[in-house]
Amino acid sequence: MITHLEECDWISTNGGPLLIISSSLVPLWRGNETTRDHNLKTDYDRACQVSGYIGTVDVAHGQAVVCGEQPFMSTWWHESASEGMIVRWVCADGEDDITSLLSNKDVIDWEDDFTIFNNFSDSIHIMDSSRSGFDTEDKLVVLLNRGIYKIETCLLNLNPRLEFILHRFSLQQPS
């Protein structure tokens, strides 16, 4: 479901992980649709196996990024055509808390671990991993240059009423 607040469009899932996938790979994502061989796991099953805040799953010749843990409302915070963040709303009184927080980057302490993501398209789709790529509802489509990205994570827990999970996408190698 897409929710528009003052600054951003927010996406939520039906309880499963959030998926970030290159536009060129979207038609290959089958979500929770079963295959002809019912013994194989669905794409959604594979996404649910990702542990931690972020990981990847193979999709044809590429990979999709999976945001694990809880199904928090999420949005894309645009920095440039080659950098931005997935902002996952854990706890906040309102969207103003988010915009003021992201304007003050001094409080963000990125974890040492990171994930690599190769974006094959000029855009990415942010969607519920249970949905098929052919499902046109409830997707955020974000312009992001082609290339190899480093994805860093930060858990911001500033007080009991202000908590976010951030995933920063930084272009490492254009393609």
**Is residue 38 pLDDT above 70, yes or no?**
no
Angle at 171 between CA 124 and CA 173, to 5 degrees: 110
Distance CA 23, CA 11 (A): 17
Q: Could you tell me the pLDDT band of residue 56, with boundaries at 50, 70 and 90?
A: very high
**Is residue 90 pLDDT above 50, yes or no?**
yes
Predicted local distance difference test score (pLDDT) of residue 147: 97
Note whether 53 and 165 are within 8 A (CB): yes
Q: Could you tell me the pLDDT band of residue 68, with boundaries at 50, 70 and 90?
A: confident
97 C-beta neighbours (distance < 10 Å), count: 17
Q: Note if the pTM is more than 0.95.
A: no
Domain ranges of the chain: 2-174
What is residue 107's three-state secondary structure?
helix
Distance CA 45, CA 43 (A): 5
- Closest among 165, 13, 144, 20 to 102, alpha carbons compared: 165
- Closest among 100, 116, 76 to 156, alpha carbons compared: 100
pLDDT, tens digit, 9 for 90 and up, residues 138-173: 899 999 999 999 999 999 887 788 888 999 999 999
Predicted local distance difference test score (pLDDT) of residue 9: 87
Predicted local distance difference test score (pLDDT) of residue 4: 44
Longest dimension (CA), the chain: 51
Average pLDDT score over the chain: 88
